[in-house]
Amino acid sequence: MSLFSDGHTIKKLLFRIKKNETNRRVGPLSLSKERDGLMTEDDKQPLQPDLMAQLDEVRQALGDSSDLVIRQLKAGQDGKTDVAFIYLDGMVNPTIVYYLIQSFLVRSDRVDLNMTTNQTSDAGAWIQQLGIAAGDVQPLKRRDDLLHAVLCGKTVLVIDGHDEAHAVCTNGWEHRTVSEPTSQTVIKGPQEAFTETIRVNTALVRKRIKHPDLRIESKELGLLTKTSVSVIYIQGIVDEGVLAELHSRLESIKIDGVLESNYVEEFIQDSTFGFFPTVNNTERPDVVAAALLEGRVAIIIDGSPHVLIVPSLFTEFMQSAEDYYQRYDFGFSRMLRFVSFVITLLTPSIYIALTTFHQEMIPTQMLISLAAQREGVPFPAFVEAVMMEITFRLLYEAGIRMPRAVGTAISIVGALVLGEAAVEADLVSPVMVIIVSITAITSMIFPNPEVGISIRLLRFVFMGLAASFGFYGIFIGTVILVMHMCHLESFGKPYMSPLAPFRLPDQKDTLVRAPWWMMYTRPSLLHTNVYREPPDESTEKRGGSDSSSS
């Protein structure tokens, strides 16, 4: 433990910095009286009944934005009541707004708009009477609610003399359509991926689990961005403790903007300085549906096609969606992923240890061919390895960032520099090129690229240990790493479960994936409702109500 105590101090320190930062960010918000456009405590005042004053305030609050549209009309039984529709051009679907205004004009004469002034408590009935041709209609009573509704792409109906406005759901901005997943592809299986729009995303999940117990709870995060965040789970299967913990962690997030799911992930994850991700993320709705069926909780963040899944354990990062879609392969491909985890983590360090400390462990023929390759290389094996690994990382980064048009240039230079020229020039030995290639290939094998990030860092640590202490160093490093991994938790669940602590029933989906008919129970990570398939008469009585068997 003493090894990590240092980490804790750093963590505390950083936490303090983080807190200061949030304060600083929040600072201008609370002092924003003099700044236009930022909402303040004053915005929480009730709406003014006077329409003109109200519209002026909205205009002022939005700084006379050019995309702000305020459509003023006269309506009502006598056709003398002033009403106004407020919306932001581009955020709304113009067709819906058109129908909304039309239907309002046609039907407003049925209702005495002035008469309802004193009946604000019965707003729902009133709006029903009006029969507006639109979906969701919400009453608004405060100015910040009004502004927020407008900013969300709703059309707000304000009527002169009323201290209540009505937000009609007319959202209709341009968004990407559902397309194929880009980073988590499969050959067999659904080819849909989440998009940036939260409603599309929730629908993609809902579409897969057509059961009333699927719950979607929404909240907003980000003081400025007001990003919608949906927490999705299946009532009756979900671990209530995890759900409560997640809610409390989400509540504590204080940040001005949430632009991507990682903003939330870093706030809710259990340990920032753990080497491994404790929150899973996916762009595949089928993976989310599968996680929900196992009793996990998914968090969809508006604007990000990556959905978070908690709690998430180490073994999950080794599971690909395809494991479950392909014909049963006796767990071969999954075992291969575990093996490649070790390969990608340790190959360079094992090479360094073998060639600089433990030459007697190499078979004679191989030793001679290795020694011949090393002949004339001016650097120690460690320097050689670090050099090559860093070169590869540079190529990798460049490959992601560079414009597509120059892509071939990088790959040609990369292949030549890494492969051919460096060897020809006797700067690196050919075997080093092979080793870097192997680690590069095996680090790409994981279904979730997040694991790769942690391994990449650890690989250098292990290389250093191997160069200093040989296998002794690798051994010590491995021991510490295993201790660290066992120490991690994801929302109160031990990270290495079901390997450590060992859970026999959960082995069916750990190192190998058992055939579907054998996986009749859910992971024992949750405690109620364990049966995935209705048990036979022969098996024991089920643990809970079999609420979801879709």
Partner 1 sequence: MKRMAGAFLALMMIALLLTSCWNRRELDTLGIALGIGIDKQDGEYIVSAQLANVSAVAAKKGGSAAAPVLVVQEKGRILLEAFRHMTVQIPRKVYLSHMRILVISEEVAREGMKYLLDLSRDHEIRGDFYVVIARNTSAQHVLEVITPFERMSANKLYMALEQSEKNWAPTRGVLLNDFLQQSFLVGKEPVLPGVTIENPGQSANKVENTQRTSDLTITKFSTLGVFRQDKLIGWLNEEESKGYNYITGNVSSTIGITPCPGGGIIGLEVKRADSSVTGQFRNGKPEIRINITVDVNVAEAACNIDLVKPEVIARVERDTEKNFSDLLRASVYKAQRVFRSDIFGFGKALHKADFTEWKKIKSKWNAIYPDVPVHITTHVNLNETGTQLNSYLKFYEKAD
Minimal distance, residue 16 CB to partner 1, in Å: 14
Cα separation, 124 vs 66, in Å, equals 32
Helix ranges, 237-306 (H):
240-251, 261-268, 285-293
- Single-letter amino acid code for the residue at 350: I
549 in contact with partner 1 (CB under 8 A): no
With contacts defined by CB under 8 A, name the span among 75-83, 112-120, 359-367, 439-447 that binds partner 1: 359-367
Residue closer to partner 1 (CB basis): 156 or 436: 436
Q: CA 189 to CA 118: how far, in whole Å?
A: 58
186 or 465: whose CB is closer to partner 1?
465
CB of 368 to partner 1, least distance (A): 5
Min separation Cβ 468 and partner 1, Å: 5
Residue 390 interacting with partner 1 (CB under 8 A)? no
CA terminus-to-terminus distance, the chain: 45
Does residue 331 belong to the site contacting partner 1 (CB under 8 A)? no
7 scored as a contact of partner 1 (CB under 8 A):
no
Which residue in the set 34, 64, 174, 360 belongs to the binding site for partner 1 (CB under 8 A)? 360
Question: Which one of residues 6, 34, 174, 540 is an interface residue with partner 1 (CB under 8 A)?
Answer: 6
Which neighbouring-strand residues pair with 318?
none
Q: Is 17 in the site for partner 1 (CB under 8 A)?
A: no
- Which residue lies nearer to partner 1 by CB, 77 or 356? 356
Between 30 and 359, CB nearer to partner 1: 359
- CA–CA distances in Å: residue 219 to residues 299, 300, 531: 11, 11, 31
Q: Which of 174, 375, 537, 540 binds partner 1 (CB under 8 A)?
A: 375
For residue 470, the minimal CB distance to partner 1 (Å) is 7
What's phi and psi for 512, nearest 5 deg?
-125, 165
What is the residue type of 168? V
Among 85, 233, 314, 382, binds partner 1 (CB under 8 A): 382
- 364 belongs to the binding site for partner 1 (CB under 8 A): yes
User: How many CA atoms within 13 Å lie on the side-chain side of 282?
Assistant: 29
Complete edge-to-edge strand list for the sheet that includes strand 297-301: 214-221, 227-234, 297-301, 307-310, 280-282
Does position 458 interact with partner 1 (CB under 8 A)? The reply is no
Q: Which string of b and e fits 450-484 if b means at least 16 CB within 10 Å?
A: bbbeebbebbbbbbbbbbeebbebbeebbeebeeb
Q: Per CB under 8 A, does 385 bind partner 1?
A: no
State the number of binding residues for partner 1 (CB under 8 A).
Answer: 29
Q: Does 104 bind partner 1 (CB under 8 A)?
A: no
Residue whose CB is less far from partner 1, 244 or 371: 371
CB of 473 to partner 1, least distance (A): 9
Q: Evaluate whether 273 touches 175 at the Cβ level (below 8 Å).
A: no
Q: Do 153 and 88 form a contact (C-beta atoms < 8 A)?
A: yes
What is the rounded distance in angstroms from the CA atom of residue 150 to the CA atom of residue 297? 31
Orientation angle between helical segments 240-251 and 261-268, nearest 10 degrees = 110
Which residues 465-524 are close enough to bind partner 1 by CB under 8 A?
Answer: 465, 467-470
Nearer to partner 1 (CB atom), residue 360 or residue 536: 360
Helix intervals (H) in 178-239: 198-208
Q: How far is the CB of 465 from partner 1 (least distance, A)?
A: 8
Dihedral, 53, 59, 61, 65 alpha carbons, nearest 10: 180
Q: What is the closest distance, in whole angstroms, from the C-beta atom of residue 359 to partner 1 in the complex?
A: 6
Beta bridge partners of 75: 81
Residue number with CB closer to partner 1 (298 or 465): 465
64 scored as a contact of partner 1 (CB under 8 A): no
Residues that bind partner 1 (CB under 8 A): 6, 9, 355-357, 359-360, 364-365, 367-377, 380-382, 464-465, 467-470
